[in-house]
Amino acid sequence: MIRTTALSALMLAVLASAASARPSTTQMTCAQARDVVLRQGGVVLGTGGQTYDRFVRDRSFCEPTEIGRRAFVPARDTPQCFVGYTCYEPGRGDRFGDF
């Protein structure tokens, strides 16, 4: 029982440190956040607190059945910064132009 509790605590610590190591758009200017996505093509960025998402330069970084949805994130110098796209699997009710 003690071993399981210690292992669980260790796993939580590793996950917490990995999440805190993720670059955050709130600590960058809009231009810096956009540049990270452009250079890396596809990257996971924090967007404030414990939230994060994967942002891509263009649709080529998505799965073949996915499309790119414009992504706006909070940055240090603006609350709505266009950084690129998120990959999105359209559903039956979606129409082109809605995303």
Given a contact cutoff of 8 angstroms between Cβ atoms, the answer to whether 77 and 62 are in contact is: no
Residue 37 makes CB contacts below 8 A (sequence gap 6+) with 43, 45, 55, 56, 57, 83, 84
The reported pLDDT for the residue numbered 20 is: 55
Q: pTM score, two decimals?
A: 0.73
The residue among 15 and 72 whose pLDDT is bigger is: 72
The Cα–Cα gap between 34 and 76 comes to 12
Given a contact cutoff of 8 angstroms between Cβ atoms, the answer to whether 84 and 34 are in contact is: yes
CA 3 to chain CA centroid, Å, is 34
> Does pLDDT of 70 surpass 60?
yes
Q: What is the pLDDT of residues 16-53, one digit of tens each?
A: 545 557 899 999 999 999 999 999 999 999 999 999 99
The reported pLDDT for the residue numbered 93 is: 77
